[in-house]
Amino acid sequence: MEKTLLESLGIEIIELQKGRVVATMPVDDRTRQPFGLLHGGASVALAETVASVGAYELVDKEKEAVVGLEINANHIRAKRDGIVTATGTALHQGRTTMVWEIKIEDEESKLVCVSRCTIAVIKVNK
Q: Given 2, 7, 15, 48, which residue is catalytic?
A: 48
Look at residue 125 in the predicted model and tell me its pLDDT: 84
Look at residue 126 in the predicted model and tell me its pLDDT: 67
**Domain 5-123 in CATH: superfamily?**
Hotdog Thioesterase (3.10.129.10)
pLDDT digits (tens, 9 = 90+) for 109-120: 999 999 999 999
Give the residue ranges of the chain where pLDDT is below 70.
1, 126
Residue 70 annotated in active site: no
Residues 6+ apart with CB under 8 A from 50: 21, 22, 23, 86, 87, 88, 100, 102
Domain boundaries, the chain: 5-123
Look at residue 114 in the predicted model and tell me its pLDDT: 98
Q: Which of 22, 63, 65 is nearest to 46 (CA)?
A: 22
